[in-house]
Copies of this chain bind each other. A is one copy, B any other.
């Protein structure tokens, strides 16, 4: 996708200074730009780059007065930083939704329906009785089982696997290799030491504006649904077990694991590599530090925790400070004991 300096100035309500026919096809930092880049100068401490940048087009503030010659075509705007952000978002939106049409070979069950402006990449598989909304982008090697529904404007990147009966909302983004709806881990011990699988016949229900990271796994419910509510953001390599429920706008960082039947509140922030045991509830607005292990329900909203097992953050940090001094503490106890022995012998 190429845009001319003139088109960009029009988009940003700016004024061109220089060759308005020059074309760009990528956005870059001023110090990393190439001859097809558009970049920006906002912070004065980067001004020197303006005179050496290879960028073809540079967005600058209207008030900017160059101290020497600039090769790039300038686009002058009220606020260069904001204008560049707008451009970045527009650009990202366009490249995210640019793919359209059906590549061959792919596998589309005839009793499934596709909305308008969809993309179905080669080797994608869509099973029976699926309903795919408008402007949904399904990349190559995506597997979609039977009876799956996907809302408008959702993007599913390469190699995502979606088991049968999953429901996915609108405006979701699912990164490559994520697995949604696989069988939960439930086994009943038998008298002979073996385990019998507990049948997993539920599904996964995902709301709107949910983002799911690469190679993250969300298991289906034993019965009923594993539920990911609107606005939840999941990073890469996360494990969400069967019958978990995650409240609205909760954000979870990479490699965290949530065990079966646990319910997480709304607007929680859970850092990376956290483990949360099964069958507990976490209140709204809870913050959990990296590598913590949460073993009990949290009923009070807004707490911050860390540690394994996790408890109140500041208390945990205080214990950690003393932990580092444990060898000295031990020595001080020994000294006290010696002195005590001496005093007692007097």
A157-B161, A159-B141, A320-B309 are known contacts. Are A272 and B257 too (CB-CB below 8 A)?
A: yes
Distance from A255 Cβ to chain B, minimum over Cβ atoms (Å): 5
* Cβ-neighbour of A255 out of B123, B214, B239 (below 8 A): B239
A133 adjacent to chain B (CB < 8 Å)? no
Number of copies: 3
> Is A32 close to B, CB under 8 A?
yes
CA distance A223 to B26 in the complex (A): 10
Residues from chain B with a CB closer than 8 A to the CB of A343 are: 340, 343-344
Which residues of A from 79 to 133 have beta carbons under 8 Å from B? 88-89, 91-93, 95, 103, 105, 107, 121-123, 125
Q: Mark A308-325, 1 if CB is under 8 A from B, else 0.
A: 110100010011111111
Q: What's the nearest-Cβ distance from chain B to residue A177, in Å? A: 5
- Chain B residue with Cβ nearest A32: B224
- Distance of A96 from chain B, by nearest CB (Å): 9
Q: Binary interface profile of A, 172-194, with partner B (CB < 8 Å = 1, else 0)? A: 01011101001101010000011
- Chain A 321-332 per-residue mask, 1 if CB under 8 angstroms from chain B, else 0: 111111101101
Of chain B, the residue at the smallest CB distance from A339 is B340
Whether, in the assembled complex, A4 has its beta carbon less than 8 Å from a beta carbon of chain B, the answer is no
Complex CA gap A344/B335 in Å reads 13
**Residues in B whose Cβ lies below 8 Å from that of A249:** 193-195
Quote the shortest CB–CB distance from A235 to chain B (angstroms).
4
Which of these binds chain B: A8-16, A45-53, A196-204? A196-204
Taking a contact as CB atoms closer than 8 A, the residue among B88, B143, B241, B253 that contacts A176 in the complex is: B143
Tell me the bound Cα distance from A223 to B249 in angstroms: 25
The answer, yes or no, to whether A236 is at the interface (CB within 8 Å) is yes
**Residue from the list B32, B173, B194, B200 in contact with A197, Cβ < 8 A:** B173
Contact B326 A200 (CB under 8 A): no
Q: Which of B201, B236, B248, B320 contacts A239 (CB 8 A)?
A: B236
A residues whose Cβ falls under 8 Å from a Cβ of B: 26-29, 32, 88-89, 91-93, 95, 103, 105, 107, 121-123, 125, 139-141, 143, 145, 157-159, 161, 163, 173, 175-177, 179, 182-183, 185, 187, 193-195, 197, 199-201, 209, 211, 213-215, 217, 219, 223-224, 231, 233, 235-237, 239, 241, 248-249, 251, 253-255, 257, 259, 266-267, 272-273, 275, 277, 290-291, 293, 295, 308-309, 311, 315, 318-327, 329-330, 332-333, 336-337, 339-340, 343-344
A209 touches which one: B194, B213, B319, B322 (CB < 8 A)?
B194
Interchain CB contact under 8 A, B140 and A143: yes
CB pair B123–A125 under 8 Å, yes or no, is yes
Contact A318 B308 (CB under 8 A): no
Docked complex Cα distance between A12 and B332 (Å): 66
How distant is the Cα of A105 from the Cα of B141 in the complex, in angstroms?
13
A290 and B277 contacting across the interface, CB-CB below 8 Å? yes
Tell me, in angstroms, the Cα distance from A13 to B107 when the chains sit together: 42
Assess A182 versus B213: contact at CB under 8 Å? Given A123-B125, A161-B176: yes
Alpha-carbon distance A255/B319, docked complex (angstroms)? 27
Contact across chains for B311 and A290 when beta carbons are under 8 A apart: no
Across the interface, name the chain B residue whose C-beta is closest to A187. B233
